[in-house]
Structure 1
Amino acid sequence: MKPIIALTKGRLENQFIEFLESLDYEVDPILKKGRKLRIETEIFEFIFAKGPDVATYVEHGIADLGIVGGDILAEFHPDVFNLFPLPFGHCRMAVATEKGKVWSNKKKKIASKYTGITKEYFRNKDESVDIIKLEGSVELAPILGLADGIVDIVETGTTLKENGLVVQEEFFSFSARCIANRSSLKIKRDVLSPIIASFQKQEDYV
């Protein structure tokens, strides 16, 4: 039986393909998958999904392993084995505001997709804020007056800059992570162990 890997679509998918290729695994079926959300290679079966869903598929045993951003684990706390970091997908979580913004004494409004991470961050600062959940383009919130600032992922900072925002504070750095279903690690140990070992050969990845 082939090991099933749930893979986060988009940027992490592309970086993981390069990573697999560097380890001499077959990647052509992934490159040629088109809009398919489930494919097989000679060794693996892959499921392609959004980050939170990757964690859910792994937690419920639909997938044995998952490739997901550390932000997803920090936000949703899925019941999975968080095995190790991978050498790609490096990002930071940050608080950002409009350039020149001066915080007032009133209670702040913070927009974010990551409400759990945001709540924890401000709680650790002993600060009460109103958190507004948005699913995308959180950069608009300060510009349109919905919020005083945002908490979001920063990779290059280009999107913030182009929308007149600046980072006030970075507070969480992370990378892609390899996660595993708890039962799969026991039941499929012989199959998964060599794969996990190969993924840990990070010094081979450039």
Structure 2
Amino acid sequence: MSFILFLRQLGLSLAEIKAILTSDYSEQTLLLNKKQALQEEIARLQALEQTIDDQLQQVNQQDTLQVDQPIHLRVLQRLPFAQDFDLSVVETIDWQPDWMLRQLYYVINETDYAICMATPAVSDYQIDAGCYVTTTIEAASGAEFDSALAAITTHQTLPLIGIEMRGTFLSPGKHLAVKILGNRKE
């Protein structure tokens, strides 16, 4: 009876428990599979929690960004600066699972820009830990975004790192919002 209660605690249905009890199913296999499923759910919930934290920070419209530990960025796609990021680009990128919960970063160079995602390992670019001054660009069109970016580049050197503001998918209307990292505050 305690084994059945344990299986119910794991979230198995009565039909699944019956199938386990009437077969040669390995208890070790069951536990390893359930542990992996739990780890995946924990990672998904942590990513969702980070998304909510990002939303709250964006709602507060802070003009600084605190980076507690270095963020390693892996390039997903590199595009000429003149090319807009649109659906044709989206289709060619290997997003991996849960891409909607992942933060997109843009590394803007003189002639091109890289679309990046954070990765746990040292990769193509890195955002060092620290507190950064930020400038938010919100634009309704690519031309409007390019104009605002040009104004920023007169005061800052390239490459620039932009962080897509995920709060825009909660806002009505179609617009692009990117937080551009400036200098670290000392």
For the criterion TM > 0.5, the same-fold answer is no
* Higher relative contact order, structure no. (Cα contacts within 8 Å, ≥ 6 residues apart): 1
Greater share of helix:
2
User: TM-score, length-normalised on structure 1?
Assistant: 0.21
User: TM-score, length-normalised on structure 2?
Assistant: 0.22
